[in-house]
Amino acid sequence: MVPTDTISAPQLYLQSLSRWSATEIAFWLATLLPFFLFPNYLSLASQIAITALFALSLDLILGYAGVVSLGHAAFFGIGAYAAGLFSKFVWGEPISGLLVAALLAGLAGYATSFIICRFRHLTLIMLTLGLGLLAFEVANSAHWLTGGSDGLQGVRIWPLFGIFKFDLYGYTAYSYSLAVLFLFFLGMRRLVHSPFGLALRGIRENLVRMPAIGAASRAHIRKAYTIAAAVAGIAGALLTQTTESAALESISFQRSADVLVMLVLGGAGRLYGGLIGAIIFMIARDQFSGIAPQYWYFWIGILLIVVVMLLPNGILGGLSKIFARWSRK
């Protein structure tokens, strides 16, 4: 045990942030509930875990570094197609597929991060949108490789660790997605509570001032963007592996918009914002699409308007405000 007086105040602050609270532990225990309570909905639960991982990756750049991206699905799609093609042409072992997808998406993220880190505001939004649309058009026109609008055919995934087959009920799929989500959540949690995470928040709050106090803002943004791209690629690869298919939808603008909606709904700049947002969004979509699929976006639109007008920090922001007011009394 190190005596407290040798630890500096910033370190103490970071340590206090990274302490696990009872709510967090309860949340992760609750993610195991679908195995017992809703065994028929494990495929949906697996989709939720994948989407949550995707939202988590966007949270790193949008919520923490303040880089608004309308094209994040590009990396999700790159990961999805990479995993699919890898299983088709090399072998179907899932873990190595994940790594390949992460590597490719990370490389794409690293390459584009040199563009991203130079711009802000509308130009940045337009550039991310443009790059995302470019990726979509590439996937669409490379019909010989990706199958275009028909989707990628012939994806065959081997059993996980050679033992657990991807079954129809999604038992393996959910365990696998949840485990990967939890692993990356731990990594992300460590990351945002590190000095690097603090620097990212500094960039979000004041881009001009950070270089003035000696922080290499652009390098930080590049790093964060690359990491976010790799994690998004892993989420995409998970989707391909658990559904044994990759569709053009995985790289579309719609997916970029959806993940943005989820993150903001849950609360950007909080680790659990993306997770809560993904859970609510996916369950609501599952329920509403059953009734009238074409009007699902009506409710999403209304939800967005309400969140922006009434809950500027998302559901978690609203809750923590209520909680703060309640505990002060």
Report yes or no: 228 and 79 within 8 Å, Cβ to Cβ.
no
The site map against other proteins for 106-145 (x = CB under 8 A) is ---------x--xx-xxx-xxx-xxx-xx--xx-xx----
The stretch among 7-15, 80-88, 219-227, 305-313 that binds other proteins (CB under 8 A) is 305-313
Q: Which listed residue (55, 152, 268, 276) binds other proteins by CB under 8 A?
A: 268
- In three-state secondary structure terms, 152 is strand
Furthest CA-CA distance within the chain: 65
Can residue 68 be called a binding residue for other proteins (CB under 8 A)? Answer: yes
Give the angle subtended at the CA of 241 by the CAs of 235 and 242, to the nearest 5°. 90
Q: Which listed residue (304, 311, 318, 320) binds other proteins by CB under 8 A?
A: 304
Nearer to other proteins, 152 or 264 (CB): 264
Which residue type is seen at 242?
A: T
The stretch among 2-10, 97-105, 191-199, 308-316 that binds other proteins (CB under 8 A) is 308-316
**Residue corresponding to tokens 């993150």:** 263
Give the angle subtended at the CA of 275 by the CAs of 272 and 278, to the nearest 5°. 145
Min CB(179)–other proteins separation in Å: 32
DSSP, res 166: -
Nearer to other proteins, 186 or 292 (CB): 292
Which residue type is seen at 191?
A: L
Min CB(281)–other proteins separation in Å: 13
The stretch among 178-186, 225-233, 241-249, 295-303 that binds other proteins (CB under 8 A) is 295-303
- Cα 284 from Cα 305, distance rounded (Å): 17
Nearer to other proteins, 70 or 152 (CB): 70
Report yes or no: 18 and 190 within 8 Å, Cβ to Cβ.
yes
Residues lying near other proteins in the complex (CB under 8 A) are found at: 62, 68, 70, 115, 118-119, 121-123, 125-127, 129-131, 133-134, 137-138, 140-141, 253, 257, 260-261, 264, 268, 294-298, 300-305, 307-309, 312
